[in-house]
Structure 1
Amino acid sequence: MIFRKQQTPQPAPVEAKPARPGSKGRPTRTRKEAEAARRRPLVVDNRKEARKRDRERRAAANREAQQALLTGDERKMPLQHRGPERRLVRDLVDSRRNIAEYFLPFALVVMLVVLIVPLLRPQLLNVMSTVVVVVLWGGMLLCVVDGFLLRRVLRLALIERYGEVERGLVGYGIMRQIQIRRFRLPRPVIAHGQEPR
């Protein structure tokens, strides 16, 4: 007698319901599942990995801040460059021709001349040293006088527009005045002689 295995009828394939427009396509998590997904240990297990993540996060933030300094996006700039008062100081410095921004390249040229000329004409060594001292000290004196004039301009403009001078703003402007215009950060947004915003 041969027994034939009785075949059970296979259920018909269930057609997947089409997702409603705008739906997630999955059920909403329970509160317990959501809390478990957010839970992180206070002390991480792998400190090396945590340090690496922190380093990468800091590097990304630094890159973003550097890009903001180049593009002028004030929301992402470092804190020392944010605010309307600092923008006014930057614009006032950038709108005028400062002696210090021209003095640094000029001083470098003078130093190179002092190094080269005595090699070609040793008899001019004494004359060149005197000229260098006079030129460099005279240039530094002009920079200091220009700094005092800028200080006065900044104080008057800040008092006129904001009623007071926040501590550190004038120093911020003088430090910007010393830098060569091409290398200033944040980048200048107004041309020489243009009215500050």
Structure 2
Amino acid sequence: MSRSAKSAPQPPAENSSAAGTPTKVGGKGRPTPSRKEAEAAARARAKTPRSRKEIAAANRKARESASAKVREAYRTGDETHLPSRDRGPVRRFVRDYIDVRFSFIELLLPLMVVVLLLGFVPSESVRASSEILLLGVMLFIVLEMVFLRMKLRKELKARFPEADLKGTTYYAISRAMQMKFMRLPKPQRKIGDALGENYR
């Protein structure tokens, strides 16, 4: 073989090792995915609902999961999953302010049930006495609601001077009218507990 034949330059190889994974000529134009990537893609496709029935089942499961989180938040007081009306330091303080004090307001509903039952008693005097008692208690409760609003607004303005206090009176009274074991979110403080200074 001649010297010129030995020194002839060799043509560069296509898709050298510097380019990474060699590409098959006439192929798909992209590297073949690894087995791990293929299995991950297959799992993702399997998880994606395809039919209307699967979509409905996935939506139902998502709603059940969200409802479970809300129920747990109502029990523990965790604000992450509470409805927007119960979130924030102002609403948390209102709940604690109501829960640490005993109020005759929460006796209104049980008393109304008692008066309703007494209405079936054949004695006219018993029915009349129960109605007078109900009117007297309702008047007392209305006065207590007025004082509750005044005291609560004073506390809120002192603790949250820049906060929007709209709706706090209704929020407080509606909670106070419920028996303690019926309140949601569940009370996190007992009657007589001292309220902290920092609610932010």
User: Normalising by the residue count of structure 2, what TM-score does the alignment of the two structures yield?
Assistant: 0.69
> 1:155 touches 1:165 (CA, 8 Å); kept in 2?
no
Return the offset for 1:27. Answer: 6.9
Q: Indicate the structure (1 or 2) with the bigger Cα radius of gyration.
A: 2
Give the AA of the match of 1:179: Q
Q: How many residues align?
A: 161
Matched, 1:144 2:149: no
Q: Distance in 2 between matches of 1:59 and 1:52?
A: 11
Moved over 4 A (4+): none
Return the offset for 1:191. Answer: 1.7
> 2:99 touches 2:190 (CA, 8 Å); kept in 1?
yes
Matched, 1:50 2:59: no
Return the offset for 1:45. Answer: 4.8
Per the alignment, residue 193 of structure 1 pairs with 192
Q: Distance in 2 between matches of 1:140 and 1:56?
A: 46
Deviation per CA, 1:79-133, whole angstroms, max 9, x where unpaired?
A: 2211111110001111111112122223322332332x32xxxxx22x2232222
Deviation per CA, 1:135-170, whole angstroms, max 9, x where unpaired?
A: 222222222211111111221111101104421122
Per the alignment, residue 152 of structure 2 pairs with 154
Give the AA of the match of 1:167: K
Per the alignment, residue 169 of structure 2 pairs with 170
Give the AA of the match of 1:152: M
Q: Distance in 2 between matches of 1:146 and 1:165?
A: 24
Per the alignment, residue 88 of structure 1 pairs with 93
Per the alignment, residue 109 of structure 2 pairs with 104
Return the offset for 1:173. Answer: 0.9
Aligned CA distance change for structure 1 residues 140 and 165 (closer, same or farther; 3 Å)? farther
Q: Distance in 2 between matches of 1:165 and 1:133?
A: 40
Identity over aligned pairs, percent:
34
Aligned CA distance change for structure 1 residues 69 and 102 (closer, same or farther; 3 Å)? same
Q: Distance in 2 between matches of 1:52 and 1:63?
A: 16
Matched, 1:71 2:44: no
Deviation per CA, 1:66-89, whole angstroms, max 9, x where unpaired?
A: 111112222222222111111100
Which of 118, 131, 139 is the aligned partner of 2:129? 131
Give the AA of the match of 2:157: I
Q: Distance in 2 between matches of 1:129 and 1:94?
A: 33
Look up the SS of the partner of 2:134 in the other structure: helix
Q: Distance in 2 between matches of 1:169 and 1:113?
A: 35
> 2:118 touches 2:127 (CA, 8 Å); kept in 1?
no
Q: Distance in 2 between matches of 1:27 and 1:144?
A: 73
RMSD: 2.8
> 1:101 touches 1:179 (CA, 8 Å); kept in 2?
yes
Q: Distance in 2 between matches of 1:104 and 1:111?
A: 11
Give the AA of the match of 1:196: L
Which of 58, 61, 68 is the aligned partner of 2:66? 61
Gap regions ≥5 residues in structure 1:
1-25, 119-123
